[in-house]
Structure 1
Amino acid sequence: MSNEPLLHPAEMDRIREGIAAAVLDAPEGLADSLEHDAHGYLRLVDASRVGAEEASRLLREAVQGARAAGHSWDTVGRVLGVSRQAAQQRFASKASAGRSAAAAGGPNAPKRRTLSGLTAFNEMAALEEAGRDGWHMVGYGPFYHEVEASGHPWEHCRVTLPSVTRHRRMEAEGWIPVGAGWFPWRYYKRPLDRPVTDA
Structure 2
Amino acid sequence: MHPTHVPLRVATGAFILNSGLNKLKADEEGQEQMHGWASSVYPMFKDMSAKDFTKLLGYGEIGVGALLLLPTVPSAVAGTALAAFGAGLTGMYLKTPGMTEDDGVRPTADGTGLAKDVWLVGAGLTLATQSFLSGTKHAAKAVAGGVTGAATSVATGVTGAVGSAGHSAGGGVRGLLDGAHNAREELADALADLAESMTKR
TM bucket, shorter chain: under 0.3
Q: Determine which structure has the larger strand proportion and give its number.
A: 1
**TM-score (ref. length: structure 2):** 0.26
**TM-score (ref. length: structure 1):** 0.26
> Which has the greater radius of gyration?
2
Give the number of the structure with larger relative contact order, counting CA–CA contacts within 8 Å between residues 6 or more apart. Answer: 2
